Amino acid sequence: MGDDFLEWATIYFSKDSGNRDRLIPRSLIYEDFKTTTGIYQWKAQRFSKCMKAFAQYEKEILSLNPDELCNDGGRIVKRISGKESPVECFYIQTKEELNYEFDAEQRVNHTGLTEVQSNMPFNRKNNPYK
């Protein structure tokens, strides 16, 4: 998983982040990771493996992408308003009850997270130690 991913994921999926127990398009999560950490060369498969490793590592997480939300291929693919084709989503489950809805307002509120986190020491752009 690596330290950069672990630090980013710990903040991104913290209790107060609003990024638990809801559907979030994979592209939004992946873009936030790249922008916040400055790591742009990762392939989607590596990112997915790290998400799985983080879900197993973090004690409060019950599962990544609960079976009830997944298609036959083990992925969550949903149609989201404003998008022509379905998009893949991630769901970090920390509660027994599942939230099946995608809330566009939460997505808008979420986008400020990168700006708030831009001065974190693991952000390669702003880290004087790297």
Domains of the chain by range and CATH? 3-96+105-113 (1.10.10)
pLDDT band at residue 103 under the 50/70/90 scheme? low
Paired tokens of 95? 């509660």
84-to-5, 80, 81, 110, 126 alpha-carbon distances in Å: 31, 8, 8, 22, 37
Q: Pairing relation of β-strands 76-78 and 87-90?
A: antiparallel
Average pLDDT over residues 73-77: 91
pLDDT score at 117: 36
Mean pLDDT, the chain, whole residue set: 80
pTM of the model: 0.74
Q: Which segments of the chain does DSSP mark as H helices, in order?
A: 3-12, 26-37, 44-57, 104-110, 113-117
Cβ atoms within 10 Å, residue 45: 8
